Structure 1
Amino acid sequence: MASAAFSFPAAPPAMESRIWRRLPEKLLERVLAFLPPAAFFRARAVCRRWYALLFSDAFLELQLRLSPRRRWLLFFQHDLPASFVYSGEPAAAAPPPRHGLLFDPDEFRWRRLPFDAVVPPDFYPAASSGGLLCWLPLCPGPKPLLLCNPLSRLALQPPPSLRHRLLPSVGFAVGETSLVVLLAGDDLISPFAVKNLTAERLLIDGLSGRYTPWGAPAAPPPRLCNLPSGRMIFHGGSFFCMSHSPFAVLSYDIAGDVWKKLQAPMKRFLRSPSLVELAGGVAMVAAVEKRKLAVPRSVRVWGLKEGGWAEVERMPAAVHEEFAAEERGRGFEAVGEGGTVAITIRGSGAVLVFELRRREWRWLPACPLLRNGAACGGGGGLRGFAFEPRLATPALGLLQAAPPTPFPFQG
């Protein structure tokens, strides 16, 4: 019997050091600018010159221009702000997170992002955009914001908002030459007082030179709305957020300073609705539940079109059965970035992901960095944020160059 022939993969060709060591510095920096963030930080350990690239304005500008856009998911393990019950002070709950759990799709693995040296201990993550995270304090009163870049560890604190709030709904949008923050909701911190819905914004546009500080008049949200604490979705120059009891969708046009109210799809039968960014548009993820409804219970995704809402996807029955067994009616929250939607379950470390391009639902691998394993005690769990990793975030420079607030708020 003839012996079977085995073939082994050829060894990679050796890199000729006499050639590569003479590579021009400018060409070498262009190569490094294309590296994923994890690979870049490993490469910084090679020599002092590479280590200093993170502090080189020329390299950061090159990296900002050439680096491929990456869409990651960043999670925090803590109680959601909406779970706090007002009783003079926030209810006893798990402390704000001191590190984030980053899922790296390039290497399909979990990573830990510490924030101890950057973020004060009483702040919680509220929104993300353009490579920056926006943090707010849990205590009632005027809201001092903290904006930080988790990769470069740079942080800056804008002037605090002027109205007293507990846990507002937060809109946060960062561009290459612009930054806008919108805080909206009830400006009275007692649940026994009459609601007084207000909004305030901080807007900086480097191209036009426009600067709108806190205290400049802003249109209030529509009456008879109930804005939960949470983040807003930015699309087409407007912020979108949910109003509960009954469910509705609100939009705020930044340029026109105008609020609009949109009817939510199947609003009488929704549970745990979330607005997400999906494929460059606005979408809603929610459970549809009613015993006498002609269709079975499911989790659905709707996209906002010019003519209204259109169903994009419905969770398959087999996946929904697994999801319902894990969720057990505790509630869930969704976050979207690009063509991906991630659903986190309250009180659980499980994450279910929907990929629009493949029309595929799948569970992320269990995170080995979670406290107490996959299950989270109390009412906590994971809260997800869409995160675009960037070494350079020019928006922080806009804040440093902005003039101080020219007048105090009255009334």
Structure 2
Amino acid sequence: MIIATSSIPSDATQSPSMSPLDSGHVQVPSFPFHLLPLHLQEFILSLLPISSLLRLLPISRSFFSLLRSSTFLSLLHHDRHHRDDLFFFLFTDLLCPSPSFAAAFHPSSCRWLLLPLPSSFSDPHASSSSLAVVDHKLAAGTLTLAAARLLSRSPPLALPPMIPILHPYVLAVIDDGVDLFKVVAVSTGDRVYSQVYDSRRGRWEQTGQYDGRFAVLGSAKFLDGLLFVLSYGPDRLLSFNPGNGRWKLVDVEMPAKIVSSHLLVFEKELFLVGGLEELGEIAMIGIWRLDLSEMEWRVVCFMPDEFFGKFGRYSGRFYHFEAIGEMGMICLYNADDSQVLIFDLVERKWWWPPPCHLIPENRRRRWFGHAVMPSINLLKPFDGG
């Protein structure tokens, strides 16, 4: 839906704010939108993606006031999702220790954008929606964790130190979209130990352990109250309940010879993206769906040869790739060749995005790798301006 710019009130040139997603306005035939009753304006605007609403903020004082009003925000559900709101934050500048921008790909428009990162932003550990857990340098120079809203001007929120048990590391962040979140951290040694930071309590708490030995826990996705986690060495699927701290081994066999595996969630189902190994390297890449009734991974599809030939074999031996995704849109990345490939689960279509030229070739790109969905929190005023 496009709001006609020719019907915007005369105060449009006095922009109260600039949106990080502002990309200009499209001229279309005029429509007296401002003459509609206020409740109809609010209803129509509530159907737009968050990214479109953010672009409307600087158009006029009328839009700015309407979009930030409590009555309008009450129409928006914090868990609402729209494909137009999906951005893949893929690269930052390796030469910048605290990058201010990320090269992001917007699948809906097939465009690369330079989008801002919060101040004092450093290496991200995990993300959900627009919330990321990152390294954060304090004034004294010490390093701790922080929770940061991507696409927001709000400064990162420093978290207290984790409980120092066997070198814990962040596994996942669970974002409920209303300024509340949980961060799950684990340590792996003789068994799995877990701790959870709950923003409601403002502290880390030990929540449970699992009597199993794994080299590392990796890809994790939250679904129906459980955090599903892939282990590597050996490869298994685990579930963790952040409410009661219970770990369970999911009774499903992983596909044989799978490597470089990643979990995704789409339409309340769990998907797996991974490579199948032959003679010590990846010979094909597949996508599977977890069938809970039969407790097995069902093949969705394999990457066609014409795409795999370019994505996986361009530089010779192929051992590893990255995969991120939301809303059924999957982004795969081969760091050896800087190849980016997109798969659309809805249309069952593989396609190549255009090359990214936002970071000059003489400056090295660092993989960022987070799927970002703007939150309705970005429409709200934040402390500090």
Structure 1 length normalisation: TM-score? 0.70
Q: Cα gap change, 1:39/1:244 in structure 2, threshold over 3 Å: closer, same or farther?
A: closer
Which protein shows a greater Rg? 1
Work out the CA distance in 1 between the residues paired with 2:205 and 2:142. 18
Q: How does 1:274-289 map to 2 (within 5 A)?
A: 274-289=262-277
Contact 1:350 1:364 in 2 (8 A): no
CA distance in 1 between counterparts of 2:202 and 2:331 reads 34
Q: Look up the match of 2:209.
A: 220
Q: Which residue of 1 aligns with 2:61?
A: 48
Q: What is the number of equivalent residue pairs in this alignment?
A: 347
Q: Note the C-alpha offset of 1:159.
A: 3.6
Match of 2:23 in 1: none
Q: Distance in 2 between matches of 1:65 and 1:224?
A: 38
Which string of whole-angstrom CA distances, capped at 9 and with x for unpartnered residues, describes residues 38-59 of structure 1? Answer: 5434433332232345543333
Task: Verify the 8 A CA contact 2:133 2:173 in the aligned structure 1.
Answer: yes
- Judge conservation of contact 1:184–1:221 (CA < 8 Å) in 2: no
SS in 2 for 1:220: strand
Gaps of 5+ in 2: 1-26
Q: Is 2:62 the partner of 1:74?
A: no
Mapped partners of 2:49, 2:370: distance in 1: 19
RMSD: 3.9
SS of the residue corresponding to residue 309 of structure 2 reads helix
Provide closer, same or farther for how the CA distance between residues 173 and 99 of structure 1 changes in structure 2, counting only shifts above 3 A: same
How do 1:231-270 residues align onto structure 2 when only pairs under 5 Å count? 232-262=220-250, 265-267=254-256, 269-270=257-258
Q: Please give the alpha-carbon distance, in whole angstroms, between the structure 2 residues aligned to 1:44 and 1:106.
A: 21
Q: Does 1:131 align with 2:130?
A: yes
Of 63, 71, 95 in structure 2, the residue corresponding to residue 58 of structure 1 is 71
1:184 is matched with 186
Q: d(CA) in 1 for partners of 2:61 and 2:53?
A: 14
Show the 5 A alignment for 1:7-406: 15=30, 20-53=33-66, 55-64=68-77, 69-70=82-83, 71-78=85-92, 95-115=97-117, 118-121=118-121, 123-137=122-136, 143-150=144-151, 152-155=152-155, 157=157, 159-164=159-164, 168-176=169-177, 179-186=181-188, 197-203=192-198, 214-228=203-217, 232-262=220-250, 265-267=254-256, 269-291=257-279, 297-306=283-292, 307-326=295-314, 328=316, 329=318, 331-372=320-361, 377=364, 381-392=366-377
Higher strand share: 2
Q: Which residue type is aligned with residue 245 of structure 2?
A: D
Q: What is the Cα deviation at residue 172 of structure 1?
A: 1.4
Q: Secondary structure of the equivalent of 1:145? A: strand
Contact 1:238 1:254 in 2 (8 A): yes
Q: How far, CA to CA, are the matches of 2:95 and 2:236 in structure 1? A: 29
CA distance in 2, matches of 1:247, 1:13: 54
Q: 1 CA distance for matches of 2:380 and 2:301?
A: 35
CA deviations on 1:256-299 (whole Å, 9 max, x unpaired) are 421123465245x2332222223422222111122499xx9211
Gaps of 5+ in 1: 1-11, 80-91, 187-193, 205-210, 398-411
- Paired with 1:157 and 1:65, the residues of 2 have a C-alpha distance of 20
Say whether the 8 Å CA contact 1:75–1:384 is kept in structure 2.
Answer: yes
Residue 343 of structure 1: CA displacement? Answer: 0.7
Offset at 1:174? Answer: 1.8
Indicate how the Cα distance of structure 1 residues 58 and 353 shifts in structure 2: closer, same or farther if over 3 A, else same.
same
Q: Which amino acid aligns with 1:385?
A: H
- How far residue 248 of structure 1 moved from its aligned partner, in angstroms, is 2.2
- Please report how far the alpha carbon of residue 93 of structure 1 lies from its aligned counterpart in structure 2 after TM superposition: 8.2
Q: Distance in 2 between matches of 1:69 and 1:27?
A: 21
Deviations along 1:48-83, whole A, 9 cap, x unmatched? Answer: 23234554333333344797633513223259xxxx
Whole-angstrom CA distance in 2 between matches of 1:176 and 1:237: 15
TM-aligned CA distance change 1:46 to 1:53, over 3 Å: same
Give 1:195 shift.
6.0
What is the TM-score of this pair, normalised by structure 2?
Answer: 0.75
